[in-house]
Amino acid sequence: MDSNAQKVRAKASSYRDETADILSRIIQVPALSAKEKERIALLKSMCEKAGFDEVKVDGLGNLLARVGSGKKILAVDAHIDTVDTGDPAQWKNPPFSGLVADGLVHGRGASDQLGGAASMITAGRILKELGYAGDYTVWFAFTIMEEDCDGLCWKYLIEEEKLVPDLFVSTEPTSLRLYRGHRGRMEIECRFQGVSCHGSAPERGKSAAYMASRAALAIEKLNENLKPDTDNFLGKGTVTVSRMDVKGPSLCAVPDQGMIYLDRRLTWGETKELAVEQVKKALSEAGLSNFEVKVPYYEIPSWKGTKYGQDLYFPTWKIDADHALVRAGVAAHKALWGSEPVVDKWTFSTNGVAVCGRHKIPTIGFGPGDENQAHAPNEITRVDDLEKAAAFYATLPYALEGKL
């Protein structure tokens, strides 16, 4: 493998500037969730130019590009939608400039996670030029709607398109560390029914605003009482109120409808059912009785008009530190740069919730850019990271030969 790794490294170095230019061009075509059509078209043309064996768009709108024809499937994934820019005044450069300067690429999605997509295109090109014909069919997946609903794209690919990888790599930003898991997450909606009355005599009614407020304080207490996983790898589960709302007949009335929306992060061993029951118990212990707790359902048409949905529940996942996929990732890193990577976990959520969390397919992460750049103004990624990530993705299939 070492000789192949050095060939890959040399090619990744020679394509360094081109990889940065690819990322710059991707950034310049905005693509919010379910509005990725133009960016997918650009990426399709880029993959075709890079010489992939097969390039196609699936029924939901994900772009798939293949190298090789081995009996096993290795999938390398980048979601290509981004969040919006927020306040433009907070950006030093235009959010969609794609400026390349001083070893950095600037713009929305530079780290989260278009840098991974750019490095994937270069990796595919390298594998083709080296004539890769090993054990794996390598599918590079440029997926959609992740920012709205993590993993929905891969739930569709696995369950509807029947593209079931043997192994999976997420290119979400890891600062070039090797990641093997992260907490799951879910969204929970709590609704409260009060009794409205005129605001001049509030004692005649039952305020849903006060109910929602007591509920919010109960959730704060619940968060304090949540425990970490037994091996303390993923850490503590959390829950927080992300939105509150009350409604009534008028601004001169006691509100009769209240709502709080919860962001729940799930550590190892915590499930959707457990989290819902914890919330119900916390509300009951706060003296509330007339409430509804549910997990919302997501279903928004993709850019192709395809409707496909799921509950807003995204299972926790991890694989063992000594799993063969982790070992292969470590070996690839060592063959390329002579050192072992830091092995860790993400703080946020990725498409791994569907692939490993839901479908138990072994998954690792290795990506250019930094997690703390995600959703932030003045987002950047390093050109050095793009070069190294491309080399890693192209070396991994060789590192996996005979391992699984």
Could you read off the pLDDT of 46-93 as tens digits, one per residue? Answer: 999 999 999 999 999 999 999 999 999 999 999 999 999 999 999 999
Inside any domain, residue 308: no
Query: Domain total for the chain?
Result: 2
CATH code, domain carrying 226: 3.30.70.360
Q: Are 197 and 253 in contact (CB under 8 A)?
A: yes
**Size of the chain, expressed as the number of residues it contains:** 404
Spatial distance between the Cα atoms of 253 and 196, rounded to a whole number of angstroms: 6
Regarding whether 49 and 85 lie in a shared domain, the answer is yes
Structural domain includes residue 39: yes
CA Rg, the chain, in Å?
A: 23
Out of 299, 324, 350, pick the residue that ends a domain: 299
Residues 289, 211 within the same domain: yes
State how far the alpha carbon of 291 is from the alpha carbons of 189, 207, 218, 295, 300, in Å.
10, 13, 14, 14, 27
Asked whether residue 18 is domain-assigned, the answer is: yes
Same domain for 195 and 206?
yes
Cβ contact 284:297 at 8 Å: no
Q: For residues 143 and 124, what is the distance between their CA atoms, to the nearest angstrom? A: 16
SS3 178: strand
Q: What is the CATH number of the domain that holds 24?
A: 3.40.630.10
Strand partners, 195: 206
Q: Which is nearest to 351 in space by CA: 209, 136, 185? A: 185
Q: How far is CA 21 from CA 122, 274, 388, in A?
A: 11, 47, 15
Q: Does residue 37 sit in the same domain as residue 167?
A: yes
Q: How many C-beta atoms surround the C-beta of residue 47 within 10 A?
A: 23
Q: What percent of the chain has pLDDT over 70?
A: 100
Average pLDDT over residues 320-326: 98
The model's confidence at residue 2, banded by pLDDT at 50, 70 and 90, is confident
Look-up of token digits 């090109």:
125
What is the Cα–Cα distance from 116 to 153, expressed in whole angstroms? 17
Does residue 143 share a domain with residue 259?
no
191 and 50 both lie in a single domain? no
Q: From CA 385, how far away is CA 388, in angstroms rounded?
A: 5
- For residue 404, pLDDT beyond 90: no
Q: What pLDDT score was predicted for residue 336?
A: 98
Does residue 264 sit in the same domain as residue 320?
no
Residue 80 sits in the same domain as residue 156: yes
In the predicted structure, residue 1 carries a pLDDT above the cut 80:
no
Query: What are 12-25's pLDDT values in tens digits?
Result: 999 999 999 999 99
Flag whether pLDDT at 139 surpasses 80.
yes
DSSP 246: E
Residue 310 within any structural domain of the chain: no
Q: What is the residue type of 82?
A: T
Final residue of a structural domain among 299, 333, 364:
299
Question: What letters, b where the CB count within 10 A reaches 16 and e where it falls short, cover 144-155?
Answer: bbbbebbbbbbb
Confidence (pLDDT) at 220: 98
Please indicate, yes or no, whether residues 122 and 254 belong to a single structural domain of this protein. no
User: What pLDDT does residue 135 have?
Assistant: 96
Tell whether 22 and 77 lie within a shared domain: yes
With a cut of 90, say whether residue 11 has pLDDT above it.
yes
Domain assignment present for 267: yes
In a domain, 373, yes or no: yes
- Among 299, 331, 349, identify where a domain stops: 299
Model confidence pLDDT, tens digit, residues 222-269? 999 999 999 999 999 999 999 999 999 999 999 999 999 999 999 999
Segments of 248-369 assigned E as strands: 257-266, 291-294, 297-299, 309-311, 313-314, 317-318, 343-344, 363-365
Collapse the DSSP code of 360 into the 3-class scheme (helix H, G, I; strand E, B; otherwise coil) and give the result: coil
The candidate with the shortest Cα–Cα distance to 20, out of 378, 350, 390, is 390
Residues annotated catalytic, as ranges: 81, 146
Can you give the residue range of the structural domain that contains 364? Answer: 2-182+316-400
Average pLDDT over residues 143-149: 98
Domain presence at residue 386: yes
Cβ neighbours, 10 Å, residue 283: 22
pLDDT in tens, 346-385: 999 999 999 999 999 999 999 999 999 999 999 999 999 9
What percent of the chain has a predicted confidence (pLDDT) above 90? Answer: 99
Contacts of 3 (CB under 8 A, 6+ apart): none
Per DSSP, 32 falls in state B
Residue 23 and residue 150 share a domain: yes
Strands 72-79, 136-143: pairing kind = parallel
Let me know if residue 28 belongs to a domain.
yes
DSSP-based three-state secondary structure for 84: coil
pTM: 0.96
pLDDT of residue 142: 99
State whether 45 and 74 are in the same domain.
yes
